[in-house]
Amino acid sequence: MTVSGMPPYDDNNIFARILRGEIPAKKVREDEWSLAFHDINPQAPTHVLVIPKGRYCSFADFSATASADEIAGFIRAVGTVARMLGLEAPGYRILANMGDHGGQEVPHLHIHLFAGRSLGRMIPGP
Q: Which residues are catalytic?
A: 110
Footprint (CB under 6 A) of ligand AMP, residues 6-45: 14, 23, 25, 39-41
Q: How far is the CB of 73 from ligand AMP (least distance, A)?
A: 21
CB of 125 to ligand AMP, least distance (A): 19
Rounded Cα gap, residues 81 and 37, in angstroms: 10
Task: Tell me which of 97, 111, 113, 115 binds ligand AMP, using CB under 6 A.
Answer: 97
Residue pair 36/48 in contact by the 8 Å Cβ criterion:
yes
46 or 97: whose CB is closer to ligand AMP?
Answer: 97
Q: Edge to edge, what strands does the sheet with 111-115 contain?
A: 27-30, 34-38, 46-52, 111-115, 93-95
Strand 93-95 and strand 111-115: the pairing is antiparallel
Q: Is 106 in the site for ligand AMP (CB under 6 A)?
A: yes
Count of helices and strands (H, E) across the chain: 4, 5
The least CB distance from residue 33 to ligand AMP, in Å, is 19
Binding residues vs ligand AMP (CB under 6 A): 14, 23, 25, 39-41, 49, 97, 103-106
